[in-house]
Each structure stands twice: as C-alpha cells, then as structure tokens.
Amino acid sequence: MRERIPVGILGATGVVGQHLVARLAAHPWFEVVWLAASARSEGWRYGELPWRLPAPMPERTAALRVGPLDPATAPDLVFSALDASAADEAEPRFARAGRVVISNARSHRMDPLVPLIVPEVNADHLALLERQRAARGWSGGIVTNPNCAAVLVALVIAALRQFGIEQVAVTTLQALSGAGYPGVAALDALGNVIPFIDGEEDKIERETRKLLGTLDDTGVVDAPFTVSAQSTRVPVEHGHMALISVALADRPALADVRAALDAFGARAAALPGGVAPLVYIDDPHRPQPKLDVARGGGMTVSVGRLRACPLLGYKLVALGHNVVRGAAGAAILNAELVVSVGRVLASA
C-alpha cells in the first residue's frame, strides 16, 4: 500500500479506544487522523486526557483534538470503541453518511444484515456488507467483531467443524479488564470469583452460532449445533479462559483432533495483523494468563489439555487476550480484511 489510509476512532478515550490508538500507531496501512468521544472529552487534546496503558501515548495522536461524534468531519474508515448505549444510534448514523464503521460494540452484531467477522473463521460473511448497503441505502456500512469470549470459542470450534459439531458446553473465567475502566470494585474482585456477567452467556451462545453459520441468499443461517455457556469474572488483569467440552459427530481419535487444531493454527490470515490463530501447548499446566496471554502480540489463542470428556467426548482449555484478540486487535484485523477485498471506501 503506497499511502496509509486515514482512519478515525469513536470512543477513543476508553480502554479499547486507547488500545486501538496504541496498535495503530505503527500500522503499515492505517494512520489515525481523527478522534471522537463523549461530550466530557470533547475539545481536549488527546495528550491532555488520562492514558491508562503502560506504553507511551503516540506523539502524533497526542496532538489531535478530540471532537464530537459527528460523521461530517470523520474520515471514510472509522473504528468504534463506543459503549453500546452510544453505538446503537451513532454507528448507523456514520454508515448513512458514507463511513465504514469497524465496530467492537455489541449493538449490531446480531443484525441479520451486519457481518460478524473473525477473518480466519468466516471471511465470506463480509459479503453481507453489500446487501446491507443495498437494503438500507447506506453508502457506508457496519462490520462487527464478536464478544471477547465468543471469539475464543469460535476459533476452537472452527478448527473442529470438519468433524461435525453437535454440542458445545463452555465455562469462561474472564479477566477484570473485560469490564472496562474502572470495572469491578476491588473489594468485589480480590480473592473472589463472580459467577455472573450480565448478558455474556447469551452473547457466547448466539454469536458463536452466527460466526460458524453459513451464508446463503437469505443471510447467515446459524450453525445447527447447540451452545451452553456459563461466565464468571476472576481476579486476573488480562486474559479470558474458556473451558470447552464438545460433541463431535464423527467421533475422531484425540490425535486427529489435535492434528486439526495444529492445522488450523497454521492458517494465519494473509494480512498485516495475521498471526497463528491457535497454538497448542503440550504442558498440562498451560495455558495460563501470566505466561501465555501475550502470545502472537495478543492475537493468538493458546490451547491445551485436550482429553476425553465422559459426557460430550472431548474437552480442552483455551486462553486469549480479551482486549486484543477480543477487541482492538480483532477490529484492526477486520479492517484489514475489508480493505484487502476492496469493500472499504464508498468514495474511492
């Protein structure tokens, strides 16, 4: 790419917005030129606002002034790190104005015309973007990435779908950073496990089936298997862990399941942010957030402890970085996919 594409960030002051800023600072395709956030941050230079990441704020971004959520001044490609309450209205408004929105919000993930994408799993669903534009008269559009725990499940299940997925049961142990900032109160979190995250189980159950569904003339037909999810919050800074049991119609040998996981891990997307989506670790004590969450720059899901399950047949453990593979990094990879297939700029 001869020139970097100018991009903006909606919700630039939040945790995911800051991770987007940091990851885009040296991106070969994209350059952050525009920032927007809520009214309380509007008008400030970005460098004057609190920065919560250990790496320094990029100097060029620090000099930008934070503007309102107004598509009139935005570049053609914007990343959305908005809360759902703001994204519900703002993202369609930007799409109508000709902007392509790469969204991390839950607001439009289950919209039948909005593609919910993990490039290594269902890149073909991006075709929905053209149907979305045609049906709604938008010159822009909305593309979403999934929930930060659903993406772990989807990547593992995608590696095994050749065997015929019948049932999936998953329990998640989710990091505190998944609750945003300031997140969970310290006295609630320390030395504790909270067995409820509002809306999380439903997202995992529904989004996984859409991600692994098939695209036809009517839209995405959800995958026919059932998913049962339980979600907990644990006192870990970064890293969602998923304890997955799965029933496979073909009843493959464990060695064949392991081979499928390894083969899928070798299928990195041919994009700047493409890394091995899965890596299997043979150590029975792994994966662990302290040791494995940053693998592949946070974009690789670590898998281990594959063994027989007396109920469903197979069980394993998966771990991924909830703010990177589950949020900012996933959105950037989706934007790379959109650009790579030529579906990004309505005015280009």
Integer Cα distance of 27 and 312 in angstroms: 43
Q: How many CB atoms lie within 10 A of CB 41?
A: 20
The secondary structure of 65-87 as a DSSP string is BEE-S-GGGS-SEEEE---HHHH
Tokens 């899965």: give the residue.
278
Q: In which region does residue 307 sit, left (phi positive, over 0), alpha (psi from -120 to 50) or beta (all else)?
A: beta
- Strand runs labelled E in the chain: 5-10, 30-36, 66-67, 77-80, 100-103, 141-144, 165-174, 214-216, 219-221, 226-233, 240-248, 278-280, 301-309, 313-320
Question: Active-site positions?
Answer: 148, 240
Q: Helix (H) and strand (E) counts for the chain?
A: 11, 14
DSSP codes joined into one string, 233-247: E-S-SS-EEEEEEEE
